[in-house]
Amino acid sequence: GENVEQHPSTLSVQEGDSAVIKCTYSDSASNYFPWYKQELGKRPQLIIDIRSNVGEKKDQRIAVTLNKTAKHFSLHITETQPEDSAVYFCAAPAGPGRRALTFGSGTRLQVQP
Amino acid sequence: NAGVTQTPKFRILKIGQSMTLQCTQDMNHNYMYWYRQDPGMGLKLIYYSVGAGITDKGEVPNGYNVSRSTTEDFPLRLELAAPSQTSVYFCASRPQGTWDYEQYFGPGTRLTVT
């Protein structure tokens, strides 16, 4: 089945700096890659996703890039703000018919004011 | 729409007790999921369902059971609770169809087994 690895596990940046989180996946047939943000004590929420027919997608200060050859995708956050502090999870389709998701282990991002 | 709702919010169980975690969604989503999240860890899929009467095991199904008698409800049953089942449980749902739809999560149930 699909295996997703996420790095780093923790990331501390100064406000205004950029942050990059990387995930690798094992199933070359996977073609949908979402990123979820989970604030402390809250539920995970989708912040951006990408499909395999594009290499990059942007939404204001966040972007996701996909390298299908290397089987990795990355989340980029520019001009970080304290409210970006949270745990970020990547995911990829899993299970029969790829009707479920398997999640990475998460990255705790701390933005220092 | 209330979205995905879960009850209870918190629960403390003694070892060997049983309980049912409730999950309801009002978005007419066919696909529903149960995850557990251990402290400081990621989300592990317990069970999922693609429609009423259909359920499938995820990565960590042992010690749990589910049923799906209606589109709206997807309860998770814990039999003979063990300390290893101390976790936060999230229910999620998404529309049927292509696999690239967003999953909507409930607020979670924090369970402690002592």
Mean predicted confidence (pLDDT) in A9-13? 97
Residues of B in contact with A98 (CB under 8 A): 99
Mean predicted confidence (pLDDT) in A86-105? 92
Calculate what percentage of chain A has a pLDDT beyond 70: 100
C-beta of residue B48 within 8 angstroms of C-beta of residue A99:
yes
User: What's the pLDDT at A68?
Assistant: 92
Average pLDDT along chain A: 95
User: What's the pLDDT at A54?
Assistant: 84
3-class SS at A98?
Answer: helix
User: What's the pLDDT at A95?
Assistant: 83
Please tell me the distance from the alpha carbon of residue B71 to that of residue B85, in angstroms, as a whole number. 27
Provide the strand spans (E) within B26-99.
31-37, 43-51, 54-57, 64-66, 76-78, 87-94
Please tell me the distance from the alpha carbon of residue B105 to that of residue B43, in angstroms, as a whole number. 12
Query: A30 and chain B: CB distance < 8 Å anywhere?
Result: no
Q: Give one word for A31, left, alpha or beta, with left for phi > 0 and alpha for psi -120 to 50.
A: alpha
Distance from CA of B102 to the nearest CA of A (A): 7
Query: A106 and chain B: CB distance < 8 Å anywhere?
Result: yes
Distance from CA of A83 to the nearest CA of B (A): 19
For residue B76, give the nearest of B6, B4, B3 by alpha carbon.
B6
Of B48, B102, B108, the CB nearest to A100: B48
Mean predicted confidence (pLDDT) in A84-101? 92
Per the CB < 8 Å rule, is B42 touching A44?
A: no
User: What's the pLDDT at B98?
Assistant: 65
Residue A52 to residues A55, A60, A66, A67, A70, Cα–Cα distance (Å): 7, 21, 7, 9, 13
Residues of A in contact with B102 (CB under 8 A): 34, 46, 49
User: What's the pLDDT at B99?
Assistant: 60
User: What's the pLDDT at A2?
Assistant: 85
Lowest mean per-residue pLDDT among A58-72, A94-108, B82-96: A94-108
* Tens-digit pLDDT string for chain B (114 aa): 889 999 999 999 999 999 999 999 999 999 999 999 998 889 999 999 999 999 999 999 999 999 999 999 999 999 999 999 999 999 999 988 766 678 999 999 999 999
Per the CB < 8 Å rule, is B33 touching A100?
A: yes
C-beta of residue B45 within 8 angstroms of C-beta of residue B37:
no
Residues of A in contact with B90 (CB under 8 A): 43-44
pLDDT at A42 over 90: yes
